[in-house]
Structure 1
Amino acid sequence: MIIRKYNITLKPVEEEDAEFIIKLRTDDKKSRFISKTNDDIELQKGWIRSYKKREAVKEEFYFIATDENGERFATYRVYNFEDDICEIGSWVSKPNYNNAVNSIKVDIIMKEFVFETLQFEQLKFEVNKKNTSVIKYHKLFTPDIVNETTENYFFVLHKENFEKKRKQIFRNIK
């Protein structure tokens, strides 16, 4: 499934994306607030092969975002499907990418995908407490903090809150 919206293309991750994913997830600046990733490209390819089985039965989706110039710049994943809720994560943008608005567009596209295409009523995600800019951004959609640890906040965003805030937020980033 390829998604094209707002001058962004989201294509499903393939094995040939392994090196790109490793570079994003092991970058010193980008990896500060995400789970650690092994830098072994062959291990990443193996993970992608197992992921493709979950994708085939629509249990998980993992995308590479490409901008209007054809530049790959981000990843994003939807997983842990349960009843009316799923989880989003692996939202990582390329270091020094010069169009931060495109990263926000990717998040909006993914939330639209979760709520409109997959028909979930809620989505959950976690954010490291030190990642204050991402927390501030997510709070624009008025999610609930449902749990926290010393390191992370755990959020749930309801479809109705997303729908109320999406147009306003999107209008401000264009």
Structure 2
Amino acid sequence: MIQLNEITIKPLEQKDATFIAKWLSDPKVLEYYEGRDNPFTINKVYEKFYKENDTVKRNLVLVNDSPVGYIQYYRLDPEGVKKYGYNDNELIYGLDQFIGEVQHWGSGLGTKLVTIMKDFLFNVLNVDRIVMDPQAWNTRAIRCYEKCGFTKVKLLPKNEWHEGEYRDCWLIECTK
């Protein structure tokens, strides 16, 4: 568990699936994460977020003890290292997140959350580089990540299937 002021990041538990299902069936959230044509049922949440032997560290985000979002981090696998053009001698982690309670959008929570996780990955897990690949049209998320010290590295054409088409993404990174 990671806690700083009002924000807590805690490992995802079985009982948290209802929050994920709620958020990932909201068209406002789905517009940015997974796609409005891809709503999640509780069974789909269990299939995607509760895999055995998964190396992804999945977490619930709370503000003042109320669930508001999701964040995950993982070591980039050799395929990802190659895809993004990095070398194998660095410890590189990927990061993905969303704020599921839309009333928190635009409040600065995303910036606080990414900064907390960035500090944890650099200072506790001692990673060399953190990467993300937001869709290029998602300017609000990209601005948030840039505020947290991430920079655009390269455009990834047709990188992610979203709402019926492959979308361009930016590879962004932050180093120590």
State the TM bucket, normalised to the shorter chain: 0.7 to 0.9
Tell me how many residue pairs correspond in the alignment. Answer: 153
Q: CA deviation at 1:149?
A: 1.7
TM-score, reference length from structure 1: 0.75
Runs of 4+ in 1 over 3 A off after TM superposition: 46-49, 80-83
Q: Which deviates further from its counterpart, 90-99 or 41-50?
A: 90-99
Is 2:119 the counterpart of 1:119? no
User: Structure 1, unaligned stretches of length 5 or more?
Assistant: 161-174
The answer on whether the counterparts of 1:27 and 1:95 sit within 8 Å (CA) in structure 2 is no
- Name the structure 2 match of 1:67: 63
Which structure is higher in helix share?
1
TM-score, reference length from structure 2: 0.75
- CA RMSD of the aligned region, Å? 2.2
The answer on whether the counterparts of 1:144 and 1:156 sit within 8 Å (CA) in structure 2 is yes
When residues 156 and 129 of structure 1 are mapped into structure 2, their CA distance, relative to the original with a 3 A threshold, is: closer
The answer on whether the counterparts of 1:124 and 1:154 sit within 8 Å (CA) in structure 2 is no
Q: CA deviation at 1:92?
A: 3.0
Alpha-carbon displacement from aligned partner over 1:1-40 (angstroms, at most 9, x marks no partner): x111132111111111112112212311111122245522
Residues of 2 paired with 1:29 and 1:89: CA distance?
A: 17
Matched ranges for 1:85-124 at <5 A: 85-97=92-104, 100-124=107-131
Matched ranges for 1:44-59 at <5 A: 44-50=45-51, 53-54=53-54, 59=55
Percent identical: 17
When residues 16 and 142 of structure 1 are mapped into structure 2, their CA distance, relative to the original with a 3 A threshold, is: closer
User: Structure 2, unaligned stretches of length 5 or more?
Assistant: 78-89, 159-166
